[in-house]
Each structure stands twice: as structure tokens, then as C-alpha cells.
């Protein structure tokens, strides 16, 4: 009887962990989401993604507060310089800069599932909220 109970508990645990990992999209799958979220958030588009997964550890499963968990994707994108002509932004040359950002996926949100925060993720500052890195 104990063996059957242990087997069921182990099976439920493995099933829940497998579902957790299967629901999490990888960085390349989130490129289109990043572009759409960027275009909703910022008035000028980036031209290309320079690097995905800046920490090279995968997707971060992170605790925002005691009841809210999110997935954080890190990117580096190239943002060209723009000038204003007739109240519209126009790309100036091929000069620009690298912008590091975090795409935050909140599956529990009813309004905005995806948001962007500029800047790198500082592990030392936010170490209390880190749950695990998912490859």
C-alpha cells in the first residue's frame, strides 16, 4: 500500500514539474512577442536582436511578491538613432546603441501578460526573489 502511495505521489510530482517546464516558451519563441510588446510600449522600433539570454542561464522563474510569480527573458537589442522630421521619427544613419532589457511574462495577469523593463537583471539585488533558472 505504501509503495502505491509513493508511486502516485512521485507521479503527480513529475507530472507537475513537466507541465511547468513545457508551459515556458524559450527565448527564440518569444521574439515575436518581444517585438509586439516593444511596439506597444515605445514610439520607435529596434532594428535587430543582438543577443538572447544575457546571463546564459535560461529563463528566470522569479517571485515578484508572495503571490505573484513571473518568467523573465533577457535580451539585448540594437536601437538606432532617430531624428524628428515632420513630427515623425526617422532613422539617422546606422549609428545607434545597444539596449539591454527584460521581457516579463506574467501568465496570471488578466490585463497585460507581457511587459518590458529596460536594464539588466541584477542577481545580487534581486536574489531573494529568484526561484530557479529554466533552460
Q: Report the run of H or E that residue 46 belongs to, with start and end.
A: none
User: What's CA 94's distance to the chain center, in Å?
Assistant: 27
Percent of the chain beyond pLDDT 70?
Answer: 77
Query: Tell me: the pLDDT tens digits for 35-58?
Result: 999 999 998 889 999 999 998 888
Grid look-up 506597444 returns 40
Report domain extents, the chain: 23-134
Non-local CB neighbours of 58 within 8 Å, separated by 6+ positions: 133, 134, 135
**8 Å CB contact between 77 and 50:** yes
Look at residue 120 and give its three-state secondary structure: coil
Burial of 113 (0-12, 13-18, 19+ CB in 10 A): middle
pLDDT at 75 over 90: yes
Amino acid at each position: 500500500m505504501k509503495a502505491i502511495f509513493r508511486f502516485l505521489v512521485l507521479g503527480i510530482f513529475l507530472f507537475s514539474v513537466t507541465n511547468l517546464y513545457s508551459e515556458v516558451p524559450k527565448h527564440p519563441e518569444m521574439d515575436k512577442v518581444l517585438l509586439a510588446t516593444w511596439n506597444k510600449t515605445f514610439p520607435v522600433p529596434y532594428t535587430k536582436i543582438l543577443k538572447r539570454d544575457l546571463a546564459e542561464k535560461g529563463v528566470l522563474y522569479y517571485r515578484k511578491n508572495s503571490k505573484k510569480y513571473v518568467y523573465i527573458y533577457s535580451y539585448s537589442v540594437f536601437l538606432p538613432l532617430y531624428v524628428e522630421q515632420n513630427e515623425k521619427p526617422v532613422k539617422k544613419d546606422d549609428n545607434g546603441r545597444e539596449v539591454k532589457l527584460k521581457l516579463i511574462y506574467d501568465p496570471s495577469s488578466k490585463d497585460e501578460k507581457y511587459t518590458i523593463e529596460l536594464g539588466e537583471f541584477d542577481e545580487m539585488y534581486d536574489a531573494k526573489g529568484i526561484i530557479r533558472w529554466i533552460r
